[in-house]
Amino acid sequence: LHDWIKAWNADGPDGLNRKPGPKPGPRKLRPLATYDDKRSALALAKTRIAELERLVGRQQMDLDFFRQALRALKRPAAQGKPASASSKSSKP
């Protein structure tokens, strides 16, 4: 809404005919972080290590979940039938 008001104030009705999407021209990206000395470089490295450790932890949780799900599908049910998948087969 604020963009529309700015466009109206700047160009009148013609300002509202701008195509949707990102604004034309180069994008202004801000740097992730900069380091001036060794201490901040170390802090950046520790931050990156922590991010990667969290990612590895999430991936390990996913692997554990899917490993248990596969075991549950392979394990016979109480009546001697294998556990069925959660969705029906697409075969006729």
**pLDDT at residue 82 above 70?**
no
Mean per-residue pLDDT for 8-36? 69
Distance CA 1, CA 5 (A): 6
Domains of the chain, by residue range, sit at 34-73
- Which of residues 27 and 32 earns the better pLDDT score? 27
Count the neighbouring beta carbons within 10 Å of the beta carbon of residue 83.
Answer: 14
Average pLDDT of the chain to the nearest whole number: 77
pLDDT tens per residue across span 52-75: 999 999 999 999 999 999 998 888
% of the chain residues with pLDDT over 70 = 63
Residue 26 in contact with residue 38, Cβ under 8 Å?
A: no
